[in-house]
């Protein structure tokens, strides 16, 4: 190794060149020459050095080089000096060959002294130069440092199986690199595989030895060297080969090593002794149980054969794979044939797995067993167990952080905290460090004296009392870490121990800011700060002041006001929990105090480390008759996890006992000391420095029995069958097979495949294709030969062992497939068999063909049907590897096969499944979806055919669910539940559950988008339940005008309650509000006596029944509120009205068929004293008294209604209880409506229109039952109104309405009609005057006309007489127009004649007027009619008429009145 010292120079110190003889000098010269020659072949990597170092690279002194391989140092002379010496010696020999030997020796001594003197001077000069260089190197350490370099890299090896291999390399670098070996990028841990690996590092040569190589050791190995300057890696490969046949006995034997595995003991003689040792450990110790404070011994007898006198093997004891050394707590003894480990004082720290390892030169033998240590009896009942594993971290001269682990036993009450005690070494006085208990399992102890050593212990406390103290910690000194590092100083031969310190300070320079200030730990009891010294120290040792500030303020307060701290760490106490602080640090020295560091981020005082979450599912498994293996899911997101505590309880006892008193780091633990035959449940909790987590859920009960032979039959499985080829290439074939029909009562753990070659029909020898079991039912057999024929067999294995092999398969030719279509799918499975359906699963073909597979076709046929009966299930290829086949015939057996397709076409068919009958097995359950009261959606499946080894396997789209982020699986007994964590669209799919070790118990459930939406709605309703309502909040009016707000709930419990709210204000029971809640019917009501304007707003009923809520509101504002208020007031008045005589039905009218008008009303609550008075226009017209009924109808009949009957009619009921009034207005439009109804009756009573002839012409006529002068009729000819003239006239005679056509001609032929106007649609009567009807009427007219001419004289006389004597006439006296000034009186008079005396009617603008104070109408003596207006005004202007009528006729006179004001008159005159 170039540039490094020979090994012997590291163990010997040479101070001169005085060697004993020339022989020694010659030997060394030869050694150095060979060393130089060997070193000359490689490039020098380091400079020559004259330092001697120990194994820890600490300098221990200088070394004087002996001979460094050059001729100069071999002789001690330079080239010129050596030539001179040779010449002198030759001259002297020639001059006097007989010179005495004494003179010659003297001459040689003189020459040697000169040479030695020159050499010593040269060495001294080199030494001074080297010391000078070393001085500057110490001043600048970086000049020495360099990254690792591989002087010699490891090389690759190919070895036979069971041989040993050694990889080695040489590494240089400063500081010395740390070397780690990796196998396939996984660090090699010799302790994890004792005896397998051996890692050594000596003199910069590093090696990795692998014992008894097997196939798993074939890998790429990497060696990594790393120091502060960098990292470098080198690689080497190891290939392990194995014979297909028997091992040749002449193969080289494995290389003997110091330690071999037990199996290597018979490999051959050990070179050192020439014999092979066989080691046996007998009389072993078993699982042991102890209690704190007791003593215990573990021992084994060791038999070594052959027995050699005085031969002592290496005996080592391990606890949890950590080597133990003798201490006051445990003693080790070897008596020659027995190894003993004695515990002088048991503590819980002693609990663990103990291993005895006995090593000889031929190998080693081990034995392990667990030791359990229970808590000592508490001094106070209910006190907790003692803490354990007390250690000291981050020791400073200011404080020491003490850590510990919480006990498993809390005494039945939660632990309130812990007290830390300290004791100075050399004393026995314990001092309590904290006044109040701390819950965090870590505490900084202050108040220590610098330079002194301490030990610590911890006690736990709960409300019952104090625990025993823990085992004391290892001693630790209170000193600055920098001082502790400097204590490891250099030593030299001439000075002894050297302590390197900083140089003397230079005064007057203030230090700079501290660097990288940070909060390294924060709890609710304390905060720890750390920082780095400033870059500018001022050449003087610095100290520090710490300052704090409440977040949000800028008020900085110095914490250590009296004495600054020397170390760059500090613990702060007495901070307010929950408050946020910032911190900063200042440096100081004799020159002053420097600038503060950058403040830290705001830090809230409290425990930053959270208590871990509870562990997951706990699964117990039978182990032995007194033990159970308990495994569990690790706590999620747990930080700084220390381990787990396990507790067990006999089912039904409710008494929990700890299974371990020292936390275990794994998630699997064997609980010993259980009672055989009892059933236990287990629970686990996690622990870190913050505390203990909640307990996990209890496990399923497990009976304590041996795993195999414990009453449950287990056997190796039956052979697989149906071996097929899925793919074939030139040198390998992929096989598939079917699961055994009998699996032996336990899960199949894997399969082993064998193959043999068939040559000319003769089978060869079977060879193993796989050494490790394969879990899948498909395997690629490699290293085959192309175009050779092979047979295969498969064996299945379970926990009971490996079963017998299957029958040899068909013979397959190993040739590469080149077909374009895919190979056959494989591993067909049947699920969810029902009477009419099942689900078929398969795996894609291994051989894809030229293109990827894009679909599958499924074929079906009855099991006993011929091959021609195969038919397709799906016409369109399915992209999934599963399909649900429906419409099966119940009880029929079917078989199935699958084909894959790609772009090239459809490939080979798969193997046919076993016949499957379409039958639903008794007891089959379906997956039930459930939404619990908390809204959690879950899928539930129950199976009644479980065995202890059965498992529920949940799948989505028929792929096993392994990711717990979407679903949480919970199994208890024969029920399993899959709980949706956060249901979303990504959860849509087909969910199935399969129960192993049953007769195919399985079921499926399809979660569609619509179903998910429905479930989410139900979940929301359950999370936020709503009380269902039969009716929403409504309002109604009660009698007396009271207002009732009400709603009805579907169902409410007795605990239900209601809040009545108006405009966000809660109402309460009182005079204004009456509340009622009928919990039987769910009717909730609130009654108000009346509504006021202040009640306008929103009314709300808020319902609550447990977690369920609901509310209903009613908005009463604006017109809605006003209408309700008005109706309420009306109802209130109505109620008071009905307390006396009142109208049930108010005054109305009725028209009879005889055209009489009857005014009527229905009255109630009448009595004899009640009177009913009728009024028209304020004048009483009728009185009804002494009525003989309580409830009845009052009537007033108007026989022949005329305009005189228009007016306001009123009925008043009254007695001593009160009165009530009903009014009917029959004026204006109301009177018109009444008359229209009368006209409607008249029209409907009209007879069909008839034709008759008179001497004047043809007359059309109709009769009505009653005629009213106000009736308006219109005559039509050919659908047009007739314009009357002297030839065509109309008239009324009695109840006859007629149309007279004088002197008719053919032009008068056509359709005639009379139309009665009733204000609505009217009524029309028509007749056709044409054809024969006209001819007949015209002929009759002619006949009568002749008769009339004969009697004309008589008629004229008669008519004149009638006219002169009796017809009603207006004789005269009325002007056509009257113009009169406003305010004047108008008086007009006219003469009236007629016999009988006519009736006189006055009209204004065709409306009848009656006499009143303003307009006085008189008809006197049957002859004089007068019209008088006392004081005219402009409203009196209009058209006036007088109408006279008797039985002989009717006549009218018209005049117009025009009223003006005086100015108008003046204007007109001008």
**DSSP conformation letters of 565-602:** BSSSEEEEE-PPTT-EEEEEEEEEETTEE-PPPPPPPP
Residue with tokens 């010395």: 176
Residue 860 in 3-state DSSP?
strand
- Cα distance between residue 418 and residue 461, in whole Å: 6
For residue 55, the model assigns a pLDDT of 46
Band of the pLDDT at 469, cuts 50, 70, 90? Answer: very high
Q: 827: which 2 tokens?
A: 């591993």
For residue 1216, the model assigns a pLDDT of 87
The answer to whether the beta carbons of residues 585 and 566 sit under 8 Å apart is no
* Distance (Å) of CA 1453 to CA 116, 775, 1419: 182, 128, 15
Average pLDDT for residues 344-372, to the nearest whole number?
90
For residue 1075, the model assigns a pLDDT of 92
Classify burial at 1409, counting beta carbons within 10 Å of its beta carbon; exposed 0-12, middle 13-18, buried 19 or more: middle
Render pLDDT for 699-716 as a digit per residue (tens, 0 to 9): 999 999 876 544 444 567
- Radius of gyration of the chain measured on its C-alpha atoms: 63
The answer to whether the beta carbons of residues 829 and 842 sit under 8 Å apart is yes
For residue 1168, the model assigns a pLDDT of 84
The residues pairing with 1392 across neighbouring beta strands, listed in sequence order, are 1370
Specify the pairing of strand 733-738 against strand 702-703. Answer: unpaired
- Cα distance between residue 826 and residue 843, in whole Å: 5
Tell me which of 85-89, 516-520, 870-874, 1089-1093 is least confident. 85-89
Specify the pairing of strand 157-160 against strand 230-241. Answer: parallel
Render pLDDT for 310-341 as a digit per residue (tens, 0 to 9): 778 889 999 988 899 898 888 999 888 899 99
- Cβ neighbors of 590 (< 8 A, separation 6 or more) are 505, 507, 540
- Cα distance between residue 239 and residue 696, in whole Å: 47
The answer to whether the beta carbons of residues 497 and 491 sit under 8 Å apart is yes
The residues pairing with 668 across neighbouring beta strands, listed in sequence order, are 631
Residue 1072 in 3-state DSSP?
coil
Q: In this predicted model, which residue has the larger pLDDT, 496 or 1048?
A: 1048
Q: Given a cut of 70, is residue 507 above it in pLDDT?
A: no
Q: In this predicted model, which residue has the larger pLDDT, 1225 or 242?
A: 1225
Band of the pLDDT at 679, cuts 50, 70, 90? Answer: very high
- Cα distance between residue 159 and residue 255, in whole Å: 11
Q: 385: which 2 tokens?
A: 């167990």
Highest mean pLDDT among 316-325, 486-495, 1188-1197: 316-325
Q: What is the pTM of this model?
A: 0.39
Q: In this predicted model, which residue has the larger pLDDT, 96 or 1257?
A: 1257
- Cα distance between residue 1412 and residue 1008, in whole Å: 89
Torsion of CA 880, 882, 885, 890, to 10 degrees: 180
Tell me which of 984-998, 1004-1018, 1243-1257, 1357-1371 is least confident. 1357-1371
Average pLDDT for residues 658-664, to the nearest whole number?
92
- Cα distance between residue 1132 and residue 1088, in whole Å: 12
- Secondary structure of the chain: what % helix, strand, coil (to 5)? 15, 40, 45
Torsion of CA 1061, 1064, 1066, 1070, to 10 degrees: -70
For residue 63, the model assigns a pLDDT of 44
Classify burial at 440, counting beta carbons within 10 Å of its beta carbon; exposed 0-12, middle 13-18, buried 19 or more: buried
For residue 119, the model assigns a pLDDT of 80
Q: What is the mean pLDDT of the chain?
A: 82
Residue 71 in 3-state DSSP?
helix
Q: Given a cut of 70, is residue 8 above it in pLDDT?
A: no
For residue 306, the model assigns a pLDDT of 81
Residue with tokens 């092999």: 805
- Residue 205 backbone dihedrals phi, psi, to 5 degrees: -105, 120
From edge to edge, which strands make up the β-sheet containing 721-728? 721-728, 733-738, 778-781
**Can the peptide bond before residue 175 be classed as cis, meaning omega within 30 degrees of 0?**
yes
Band of the pLDDT at 371, cuts 50, 70, 90? Answer: very high
Q: In this predicted model, which residue has the larger pLDDT, 1466 or 826?
A: 826
Q: Given a cut of 70, is residue 56 above it in pLDDT?
A: no
Average pLDDT for residues 80-86, to the nearest whole number?
50
What's the longest Cα–Cα distance across the chain? 229
Q: How far is CA 317 from the centre of its chain?
A: 50
Band of the pLDDT at 356, cuts 50, 70, 90? Answer: very high
- Cα distance between residue 468 and residue 345, in whole Å: 14
Neighbours of 127 (CB within 10 A): 13
Q: 436: which 2 tokens?
A: 């109040």
Classify burial at 1198, counting beta carbons within 10 Å of its beta carbon; exposed 0-12, middle 13-18, buried 19 or more: middle
Average pLDDT for residues 130-149, to the nearest whole number?
67
Band of the pLDDT at 266, cuts 50, 70, 90? Answer: very low
Band of the pLDDT at 102, cuts 50, 70, 90? Answer: low
Neighbours of 283 (CB within 10 A): 11
Residue 141 in 3-state DSSP?
helix
For residue 603, the model assigns a pLDDT of 87
Render pLDDT for 1323-1367 as a digit per residue (tens, 0 to 9): 888 999 888 888 888 888 888 887 767 666 665 665 555 555 678
Classify burial at 160, counting beta carbons within 10 Å of its beta carbon; exposed 0-12, middle 13-18, buried 19 or more: middle
Render pLDDT for 1092-1147 as a digit per residue (tens, 0 to 9): 999 999 999 999 988 888 999 999 999 999 999 888 888 888 888 888 888 888 89
- Cα distance between residue 78 and residue 71, in whole Å: 8
Residue 847 in 3-state DSSP?
coil
For residue 271, the model assigns a pLDDT of 37
From edge to edge, which strands make up the β-sheet containing 1043-1049? 1029-1037, 1043-1049, 1083-1088, 1073-1078
Torsion of CA 404, 407, 412, 417, to 10 degrees: 0
């Amino acid at each position: 190794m170039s540039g490094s010292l020979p090994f012997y120079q590291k163990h010997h110190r040479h101070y001169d060149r005085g060697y004993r003889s020339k022989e020694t000098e010659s030997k060394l010269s030869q050694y150095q020459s060979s060393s130089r020659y060997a070193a000359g072949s490689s490039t020098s990597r380091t400079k020559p050095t004259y330092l001697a170092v120990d194994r820890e690279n600490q300098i221990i002194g200088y070394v004087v080089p002996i001979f460094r391989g050059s001729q100069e140092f071999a002789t001690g002379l330079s080239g010129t000096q050596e030539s001179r010496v040779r010449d002198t010696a030759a001259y002297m020999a020639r001059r006097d060959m007989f010179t005495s030997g004494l003179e010659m020796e003297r001459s040689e001594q003189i020459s040697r002294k000169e040479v030695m003197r020159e050499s010593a001077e040269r060495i001294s000069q080199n030494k001074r130069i080297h010391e000078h260089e070393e001085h500057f190197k110490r001043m600048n350490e970086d000049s020495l440092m360099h990254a690792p370099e591989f002087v010699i890299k490891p090389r690759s090896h190919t070895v036979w199986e069971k041989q040993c291999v050694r990889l080695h390399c040489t590494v240089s670098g400063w500081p010395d690199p740390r070397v780690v070996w990796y196998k396939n990028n996984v660090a090699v841990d010799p302790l994890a595989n004792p005896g397998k690996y051996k890692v050594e590092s000596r003199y910069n040569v590093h090696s990795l030895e692998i014992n008894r190589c097997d196939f798993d050791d074939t890998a790429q190995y990497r060696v990594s060297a790393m120091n502060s300057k960098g990292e470098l890696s080198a690689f080497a490969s190891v290939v392990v080969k194995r014979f297909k046949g028997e091992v040749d006995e002449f193969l080289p034997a494995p290389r003997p090593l110091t330690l071999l595995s037990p199996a290597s003991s018979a490999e051959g003689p050990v070179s050192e002794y020439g014999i092979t040792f066989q080691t046996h450990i007998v009389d072993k110790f078993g699982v042991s149980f102890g209690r704190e404070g007791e003593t215990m011994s573990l021992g084994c007898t060791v038999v070594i054969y052959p027995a050699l006198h005085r031969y002592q093997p290496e005996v080592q004891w391990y606890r949890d794979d950590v080597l133990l050394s003798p201490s006051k707590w445990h003693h080790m003894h070897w008596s020659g044939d027995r190894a003993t480990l004695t515990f002088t004082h048991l503590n819980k720290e002693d609990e663990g797995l103990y291993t005895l390892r006995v090593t000889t030169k031929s190998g080693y033998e081990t034995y392990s067993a667990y030791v359990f240590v229970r808590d000592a009896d508490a001094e106070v009942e209910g006190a907790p167990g003692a803490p354990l594993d007390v250690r000291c971290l981050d020791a400073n001269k200011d404080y020491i952080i003490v850590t510990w682990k919480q006990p498993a036993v809390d005494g039945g009450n939660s632990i309130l905290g812990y007290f830390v005690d300290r004791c100075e070494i050399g004393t026995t006085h314990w001092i309590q460090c904290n006044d109040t208990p701390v819950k965090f399992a870590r505490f900084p102890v202050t108040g220590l004296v610098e330079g002194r050593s301490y030990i610590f212990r911890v006690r736990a406390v709960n409300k019952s009392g104090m625990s025993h103290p823990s085992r004391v910690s290892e001693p630790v000194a209170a000193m600055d870490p920098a001082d502790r590092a400097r204590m490891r100083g250099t030593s030299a031969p001439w000075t002894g121990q050297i302590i390197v310190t900083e140089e003397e300070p230079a005064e007057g320079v203030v230090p700079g800011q501290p660097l990288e200030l940070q909060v390294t730990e924060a709890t609710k009891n304390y905060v720890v700060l750390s920082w780095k010294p400033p870059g500018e120290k001022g050449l003087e040792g610095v100290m520090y002041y710490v300052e704090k500030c409440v977040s949000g303020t800028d008020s900085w307060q110095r914490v250590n006001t009296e004495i600054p701290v020397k170390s760059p760490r500090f613990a702060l106490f007495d901070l307010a929990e929950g408050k946020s602080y910032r911190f900063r640090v200042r440096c100081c020295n004799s020159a002053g105090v420097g600038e503060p560091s950058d403040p830290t981020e705001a830090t809230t005082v409290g425990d930053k480390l959270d208590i871990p979450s509870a562990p997951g599912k706990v699964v117990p498994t039978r182990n032995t008759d007194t033990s159970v293996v308990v495994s569990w899911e690790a706590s999620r997101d747990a930080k700084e996890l220390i381990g787990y505590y396990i507790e067990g309880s006999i089912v039904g006892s409710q008494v929990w006992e700890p299974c371990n008193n020292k936390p275990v780091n794994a998630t699997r633990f064997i609980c010993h000391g259980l009672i055989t035959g009892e059933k236990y449940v287990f629970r686990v909790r996690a622990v870190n420095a913050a505390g203990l987590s909640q307990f996990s859920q209890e496990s399923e009960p497990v009976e304590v029995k041996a795993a195999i032979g414990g009453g449950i039959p287990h056997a190796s499985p039956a052979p697989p069958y149906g071996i097929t080829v899925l793919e074939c290439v030139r040198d390998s074939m992929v096989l598939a097979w079917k699961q055994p029909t009998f699996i032996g009562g336990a899960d199949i753990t894997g399969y082993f495949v064998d193959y043999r070659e068939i040559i000319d029909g003769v089978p060869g020898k079977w060879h193993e294709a796989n050494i490790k079991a394969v879990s899948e039912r498909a395997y690629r057999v490699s290293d085959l030969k192309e175009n050779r024929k092979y047979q295969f067999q498969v064996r299945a294995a379970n926990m009971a062992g490996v079963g017998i092999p299957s029958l040899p398969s068909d013979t397959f030719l190993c040739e590469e497939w080149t077909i374009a279509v895919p190979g056959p799918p494989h591993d067909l499975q049947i699920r969810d068999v029902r009477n009419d359906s099942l689900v078929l699963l398969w795996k894609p073909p291994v051989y894809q063909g030229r293109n990827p597979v894009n679909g599958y076709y499924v074929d079906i046929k009855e099991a006993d049907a011929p091959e021609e009966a195969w038919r397709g299930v799906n016409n369109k290829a399915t992209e999934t590897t599963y399909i649900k086949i429906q419409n099966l015939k119940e009880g029929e057996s079917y078989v199935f096969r699958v084909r894959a397709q790609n772009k090239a076409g459809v490939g080979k068919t798969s193997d046919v499944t076993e016949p499957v009958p379409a039958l639903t097995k008794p007891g089959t359950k379906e997956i039930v979806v459930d939404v619990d009261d908390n809204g959690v959606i879950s899928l539930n499946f129950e199976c009644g055919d479980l065995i202890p080894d059965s498992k529920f396997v949940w799948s989505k789209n028929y792929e096993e669910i392994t990711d717990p982020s979407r679903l949480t699986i919970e199994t208890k007994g024969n029920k399993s539940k899959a709980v949706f964590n956060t249901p979303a669209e990504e959860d849509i799919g087909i969910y199935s559950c399969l129960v192993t070790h049953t007769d195919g118990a399985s079921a499926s459930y399809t979660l569609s988008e619509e179903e998910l939406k429905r479930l989410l709605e139900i979940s929301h309703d359950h999370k936020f339940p709503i009380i269902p309502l039969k009716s929403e909040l409504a309002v109604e009016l009660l009698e007396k005008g009271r207002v009732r707000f009400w709603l009805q709930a579907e169902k409410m419990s007795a605990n239900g309650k209601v809040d009545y709210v108006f405009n966000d204000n809660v109402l309460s029971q009182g005079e204004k509000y009456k509340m009622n809640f009928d919990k039987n019917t769910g009717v909730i009501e609130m009654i108000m006596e009346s509504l006021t304007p202040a009640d306008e707003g929103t009314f709300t009923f808020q319902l609550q029944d447990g977690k369920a809520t609901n509310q209903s509101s009613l908005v009463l504002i604006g017109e809605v509120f006003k209408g309700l208020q008005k109706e309420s007031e009306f109802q209130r008045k109505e109620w008071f009205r009905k307390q006396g005589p009142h109208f049930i039905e108010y005054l109305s009218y009725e028209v009879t068929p005889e055209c009489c008008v009857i005014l009527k009303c229905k009255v109630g609550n009448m009595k004899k004293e009640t009177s009913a008075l009728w009024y028209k226009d304020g004048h009483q017209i009728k009185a009804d008294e002494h009525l003989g009924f309580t409830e009845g109808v009052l009537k007033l009949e108007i026989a022949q209604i005329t305009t005189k009957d228009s007016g306001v009619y009123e009925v008043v009921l009254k007695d001593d209880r009160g009165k009530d009034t009903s009014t009917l207005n029959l004026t204006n439009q109301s009177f018109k409506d009444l008359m229209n109804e009368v006209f409607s009756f008249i029209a409907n009573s009209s007879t069909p229109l008839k034709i008759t002839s008179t001497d004047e012409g043809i007359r059309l006529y109709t009769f009505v039952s009653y005629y009213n002068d106000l009736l308006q009729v219109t005559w039509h000819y050919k659908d047009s109104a007739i314009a009357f003239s002297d030839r065509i006239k109309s008239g009324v005679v009695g109840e006859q309405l007629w149309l007279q056509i004088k002197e008719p001609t053919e032009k008068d032929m056509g359709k005639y009609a009379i139309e009665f106007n009733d204000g609505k649609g009217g009524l029309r009567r028509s007749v056709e005057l044409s054809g024969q009807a006209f001819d007949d009427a015209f002929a009759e007219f002619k006949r009568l006309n002749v008769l009339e001419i004969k009697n004309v004289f008589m008629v004229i006389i008669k008519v004149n007489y009638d006219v002169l004597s009796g017809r009603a006439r207006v004789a005269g006296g009325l002007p056509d127009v009257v113009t009169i000034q406003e305010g004047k009186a108008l008086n007009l008079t006219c003469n009236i004649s007629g016999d009988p005396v006519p009736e006189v009617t006055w009209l204004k603008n065709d409306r009848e007027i009656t006499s009143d104070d303003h307009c006085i109408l008189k008809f006197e003596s049957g002859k004089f009619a007068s019209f008088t207006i006392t004081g005219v005004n402009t409203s009196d202007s209009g058209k006036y008429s007088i109408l006279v009528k008797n039985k002989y006729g009717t006549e009218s006179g018209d005049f117009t009145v025009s009223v003006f004001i005086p100015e108008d008159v003046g204007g007109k005159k001008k």
